[in-house]
Amino acid sequence: MRIIHFPHPTLRRTSKALRRVDDDLRKIVREMFDLMYQAKGIGLAANQVDLPYRLFVLNLTGDPAEAEEEQVFINPVLSDPKGSAEAEEGCLSLPGLYAQVRRPETITVNAYDLSGQEIEETIDGLFARAVQHETDHLNGVLFIDRLSPTTRLSLKDTLEEFEIEFADRRQRGEIPDDEKISARLSELEALRT
């Protein structure tokens, strides 16, 4: 398992709801947390590790020593957005790129945790921002899609560098073609969603 970078096509795929939690899924979640910590992140969605599942992990402290802060959201649904707040965001799939993003300030999230318990929480601040950022991932949306046109324009060169790097890696055979990626994801979906 590894973290994929923009413009990998899996980042644009809408993730499918999971049918159940089993030991394999628990193993996947553990690996996702480990990768997230290595990359110094606070959240990671399944499609960022090239998996088509509606699932993300969070630890707002970003500190593996604070394991009690780990949270898993399976099949999350957001509702009741209120207010508006702007803050800087980054993304493990766009390493080194940071920009101001405007989002609702408060949100209600419904999801299942890893023990199959239903979660319902109304949240704000960094927690609400991270949950919205990660849920966006599951819908194939990246934070760069939510920038103001002027901010996006100012990041044009950086985004082009990501595209060139991706094309180079693909040419070296490190990334399969779109059809192969899609076929693999469809197989995984048939298994668990």
* Interacting residue ranges for Zn ion, rule: CB under 5 A: 91
Cβ-closest residue to Zn ion?
91
CB of residue 29 vs Zn ion: minimum separation in angstroms?
17
Token duo for residue 145 = 């899609």
DSSP 3-state assignment of 113? coil
CB of residue 134 vs Zn ion: minimum separation in angstroms?
7
Question: Is 161 a residue of the active site?
Answer: no
157 phi and psi angles, rounded to 5 deg: -65, -40
Phi-psi region of 104 (alpha: psi -120 to 50; beta: other; left: phi over 0): beta
Which residue among 86, 105, 134, 161 is the active-site one? Answer: 134
- CA 137, 140, 146: angle at the middle one, nearest 5? 75
**Nearer of residues 145 and 178 to Zn ion, judged by Cβ:** 145
**Nearer of residues 91 and 109 to Zn ion, judged by Cβ:** 91
**Cα gap 97→151, rounded to integer Å:** 12
**Cα gap 154→143, rounded to integer Å:** 15
Token duo for residue 162 = 């990501």
**Nearer of residues 21 and 91 to Zn ion, judged by Cβ:** 91
CB of residue 162 vs Zn ion: minimum separation in angstroms?
13
Phi-psi region of 16 (alpha: psi -120 to 50; beta: other; left: phi over 0): beta
**Nearer of residues 21 and 35 to Zn ion, judged by Cβ:** 35
CB of residue 92 vs Zn ion: minimum separation in angstroms?
6
Active site residues: 134
